[in-house]
Structure 1
C-alpha cells in the first residue's frame, strides 16, 4: 500500500503522524511511505531519519496526500479539504461532533474517515485517545498554574501557597484519563484539589490512590456551582466518546466566579464543557469573559511534540500496520476499528456524530458491505 505522511497544518502543531520507527516497520513489510519534507522537524525527526527508515521524501503536500492511506495527527484544515476523495482512507484525530464543515466535506467526497478518538476496545477503553489525554491532563494543570500568575492575567495565585497562605483551589470536572492526570500534577504541586464525576467507581479509585490528598464529589448541578464559584482554576475534563461535551458551566455562572480565575477546557475538541468555550490556538491561547480567563487550545499536546509523537505512535502503530496490510478488511474484521470508522462513502458510521447533527446513522458493517 502507498501511505502518505503530510506535514501538519494546524497552528503550531509540531507533532507528526508517524515516527521513523513506525515508517521502518511499514517499509520492512513492503509498503511505500511518502513523507512530506519537514513533516517531522517539529518532533526532532529529520528527513534523513525517515530516509534511513525506508521512506520516500516528497516535496509538497500533494504528493503525500496522493496515497491510499494518509496518517496524520489532527483533522484536515480547510486548505487540505481538496485532498479528500472516495479512494482515500484517512486515519487521524477527527473530532467530528464539533466540526460540521468537515463532516459535510467527508460525506460529500466519500472519504473513509477513521478517527483515533473513537477506536474502542471491547472493554470500553479508547487506546488511541488515552496517550494524548494523559499529556493534555498533565499540561492542563501546568498551563493553569501559568495563567494564574498576575503577569499572565490571572489572580496572582501560587499553586502550592506558602506556610500561612492557602494554596490554589483547583476543581477538575471529570475523573477520566484527563482528570486523573490533571489531578496527579495538581496534587504534586501542592494545590487543594477537588475532582467531580458521575462515576462513583472513578471517584473511589482516586480516593484510594491519594488517601486524603484530594477531595472527590459527585457531579451534579449544585456541587458544580458551589465548587466552581470557589475555584481559582477549573479544568474541564469531560468526555462523551465521539459526541459533543455537555455544558457544565453556563455563561451566567461566570459572573459569580472569582475574577482572575482560569478555566482550561480540555474538552474543547468536542465542543467544550463550558458554554463560553470557543477554540483557540497556541498563537492566541486565551481570552477573557466576565473576568475569567479561558484557555481552549484544541491541540494542547502539540506544544510538547517530541513526547506526544512517541506516546501517540506507541498506540497507533499497530493499527496503521493492520490498515496497510489489510485495507478496509481490517475494519470489517476488527470491532475495535469499526468503532473508529466515522464516515464511509457518504455514510455517517458513528452514532454520536450522527446524533450531534441530526444525521442518519449507518452501522459500519452495513456500510462496508
Structure 2
C-alpha cells in the first residue's frame, strides 16, 4: 500500500509539473512521461475504487486534455494515444466526476483522429478503445460513431486488412437510422476512397511515416484538411502549381468534387455522387491504366466483406421503411455501373 501511495504521488506530480514546464506546457504530447502517468493513475483509480482519488485526478486530466487538444495543430508529436488514455478515464468515471464525455469524444475525432487516422499505431489503439467501450458508447453516445463513419472508413481504407477484424467488431455501431443509407454508397466506394487519399499523398507528400513528426512536416495532412475545408465551405484551395501539370493530375483533378465528398470526416446525409460524368470516367481510366497499389488491392478485397456485413445487420436490425429506401439506391448504383462501363469503352 505504501508503494502504491508513492506511485500515486509520483504520477500526480508528473501531471502537475508538466503544466508548469515551459518545454511541455504548450505541447503536452511531446512529454513521453505523461502517457505512462495517465495510464498508471487510471489503473490506480480503478484498483482502489476511491471516489476521493478519482476526484483528485480528474481536474489534472481535464486540464491536460484541453491543453493537448489546443496544441495539436502546432505540435510535431502524436496526441492519439495520450488522448485515448484520458478518454478512458472520462468514460469509466464520468458519473463520479459528473463529466459528460460526449464533447471530449467528439473533440478527439474532429481534432485528433482526423489528422492521425493514417498512423497505424493510433488507428489500432482507436479501434481497441472503441471495441472495449462499445456497449457504453451504444447506450450513452449512440450518435457518435454514426456521425463519424466517414472518418472510420478512411481509417480502415488506409490501414487495410490488418485492422479488418477489429474494424468489423466496431462496424455495427456505425449504423443508425441516420447513417444507414449514406453508409451504403460509402462502403461500395471504399476503393475510390483509397484512390482519393493516394491522390493527396502523391500531390502533397506521404500521409504516413516513421513518426507523426514527419507527417506534420509534410504538407499532406494540411492538404487533406484543405480539401475537406473546400468540401465543407466552398472555399478554394490555392493554385496547384507546376507540379500538377501531368496528365494524371489534370484528369484526376477534374474529378475532385467527388473526391472531396469521399474525404469528408462526418456524416452529413446522402449526397449525390456523379459517377457517370466524363470527369469521373477519366479519373477511373487513369486508375485502371496504373498499377494497383497494395492498399487499393486490400480495399478491393475488404469491400465485399464490409458490404456483406452491412446487409447482414440490415436484415436483422433495420426497419422496413429504411430497407425500402435502400432499394432505389441499389438500382441507381447498378445503372451507374453499367453507364460507367460504357464511358470507359
TM-score between the two structures when normalised by the length of structure 1 = 0.24
Name which structure has the greater RCO, CA cutoff 8 Å, separation 6+.
1
Instruction: Decide which structure has greater helix share.
Output: 2
Answer with 1 or 2: which has the greater Rg.
2
Instruction: Decide which structure has greater strand share.
Output: 1
